[in-house]
Amino acid sequence: MIKIDKVQCIVVGAGPAGAACAHVLAKKGIEVVVLERGRKVGEKNVAGFVLFTPVLEYLIPGCREKAPLERNITRFDTIDMDEDYFNVSQRYIYSYRDDPLCFSAFRGKFDPWFAMEAQKAGAELIAGQTVTDLIFDKNRVVGIKTEDEELYADVVVGADGIHSVVAEKTGLKKDPGKMYLIVKEILDLPPDVINQRFRLREGEGCTVEGEFELDVENLVTLYTNKDSVSMALDCVAEDLIDEKAKAHDLLEEVKSHPYLHSLLEGASLREYQAHDETINREPLKPESMYGDGVLLCGEAGKIIDMWGTGVPPSILSGMMAAQTVEMAVQKNDFSKKTLKNYINFLDSTSLWRTMFESGKQEGYNEIIADIMEKSHRRYYDFSRREPYPLWKDIYFQIGKDFTPFFLHWIIAGWLHFSSFCSSLYNKIKKIFKNRYYEWKKDYERKQ
């Protein structure tokens, strides 16, 4: 056990959100300690798991080659069924063949690699210690307690997952809403059998998703890995109780459906897993993501987008939490007043604005789904830090079909020009802001 009394920042949880936060903080030279309750990073985590890489690419360029990933997902199959029919539709995206967007992966392999990258950047990791309580000083979080130790910090970042202790002890925990129980299995199949049955090219993979005809509200997902298939069944916990149905028995029922049986016949069970999940269909309440001396990211802050993908938003929120901590360190103020800039940092990314634009659920989802399919990359391109208006995307994908030729060139020209100007303005603003902070630091040092 490394003997440390006080550090600048404690991150609770070494999952994607915590590791991303620690990585960015360490790169910025801020002292950070990550606490993970598992003895090995990733052993407590469960996810589908398909990783959309653009967010990670921003933090670790070349991650598609460096990270331990399974197959390049180029096809997205959707199941639609009723008591009268069963339909599978398949969408193959040509561009993903040479320029992959997403990969299947295992949390037990990805999380340790990602945490190691944070450690290489300079973050300290303490594994096998569970945070049981927080230390307060007049409503401000000043440290954490584990089963064996106490550790103090200027700010605590809670990235400890869906049943977050940090969220609970600070009172930032929200009503979970509809809770889903996921039961999941990793099923072994030889690679050539997977290629043949799922009709895949070498190295490519697919996802199969849809709601099955069961007595409970559910979502079935299958992802092809190199030599196995991950199969998950999400059920609404309340429905399971009302119907007195056991999720693991329903999973067997789903696996024996003729279509899935034809894909999975002869597969042996490698590992069984279970986890809780919430799918966020409500606009997030920003005031419940930060407090005095504390920030929440990832599932601890209920930061999951409306399609249930958790890891890219978690990584994004971890990175923005790190930016907020850096600002707090520069201002030497760790109260809500400075930490509320977390929301501004998140809001400045196109990913966040597209995911959590509030109050426009009906019809909006269809537009977003369409944009997502046509331009996955732009949706996840949050490297543009300036506000990225959604209507620009809508215009280019849909609106331009309805404008006369000459008018389209005027509108498109103006949109590109205004985008360029605002990006230039933000870059100049950033340069001058950094210079101001450096000057202030020098000035204070001389005093």
Partner 1 sequence: MTDECILTVDEKMATVKIKIDKEAHIIVKKELCRECTKRPCLTICPAENYQWNEKGNELIFNYEGCLECGTCKLICPLDAITWSYPKRGCGVKYRYG
Question: Which spans of this chain sit near partner 1 (rule: CB under 8 A)?
Answer: 37-40, 42-47, 49, 106-109, 111, 127-130, 132, 147-148, 162-163, 165, 176, 179, 181-183, 185-186, 237-238, 240-241, 244-248, 252-253, 256, 261, 265, 269-276
Residue holding tokens 């040479």?
A: 98
Separation CA 62–CA 20 (nearest Å): 16
Pairing of strands 32-36, 6-12: parallel
**Residue number with CB closer to partner 1 (226 or 440):** 226
CB nearer to partner 1: give 30 or 41.
41
User: Pick from 328, 325, 260: which is nearest to 296 by CA?
Assistant: 325
Spell 20-32 as b/e; 16+ CB within 10 A means b.
bbbbbbbeeebbb
Nearest-approach distance from CB 132 to partner 1, in angstroms? 7
Q: Please say which residue, 32 or 165, places its beta carbon nearer to partner 1.
A: 165
What is the enclosing helix (H) or strand (E) of 77? Answer: strand 72-81
Amino acid at 213: E
Please tell me the distance from the alpha carbon of residue 339 to that of residue 321, in angstroms, as a whole number. 9
CB within 8 Å of 317: residues ≥ 6 apart:
17, 297, 298, 301, 303, 346
CB 235, min distance to partner 1, A:
10
Q: Is 153:6 a contact under the CB 8 Å cutoff? A: yes
CA angle 152, 156, 161 (to 5 degrees): 130
- And the tokens for 264? 């999975």
Reported for 306-310, long-range contacts at CB under 8 A and 24+ positions apart, including other chains, are 306/279, 306/280, 306/281, 306/355, 306/365, 307/279, 308/219, 308/234, 308/277, 308/279, 309/50, 309/52, 310/47, 310/277
Least Cβ distance, residue 72 to partner 1 (angstroms): 19
> For residues 37 and 201, what is the distance between their CA atoms, to the nearest angstrom?
40
Measured from the CB of residue 223, what is the shortest distance to partner 1 in angstroms? Answer: 12
Of 57 and 238, CB closest to partner 1? 238
| Minimum separation from the CB atom of position 295 to partner 1 (A) | 21
Helices (H), 267-404: 311-331, 336-339, 341-347, 350-356, 364-374, 376-380, 390-397
Of the two residues 185 and 305, which places its CB atom closer to partner 1 in the complex? 185
Helices and strands per DSSP (H, E), number in the chain: 18, 17
* CB of residue 315 to partner 1, shortest distance in Å: 16
Q: Which is nearer to partner 1, 272 or 420 (CB)?
A: 272
Q: How far is the CB of 17 from partner 1 (least distance, A)?
A: 15
Query: In angstroms, what is the minimal distance from the CB of 362 to partner 1?
Result: 29
Instruction: Tell me whether residue 24 or residue 186 sits nearer to partner 1 (CB atom).
Output: 186
> 76 or 110, CB closer to partner 1?
110
Q: Which is nearer to partner 1, 8 or 146 (CB)?
A: 146
Of 272 and 432, nearer to partner 1 (C-beta) is 272
Least Å from the CB of residue 199 to partner 1:
22
Query: CA torsion sign, 156 to 276 to 352 to 118?
Result: positive
Q: Are 178 and 236 in contact (CB under 8 A)?
A: yes
> Taking Cα atoms as reference points, which of 208, 223, 280, 274 lies closest to residue 247?
274
**The pair of three-digit structure tokens given for residue 123, joined into one six-digit string:** 């973050």
Closer Cβ to partner 1, 257 or 385, answer by number? 257
**Shortest CB 237 distance to partner 1, Å:** 6
Question: Could you tell me the smallest distance in angstroms from the CB atom of residue 75 to partner 1?
Answer: 22
Cα–Cα distance, 215 to 243 (Å, whole number): 7
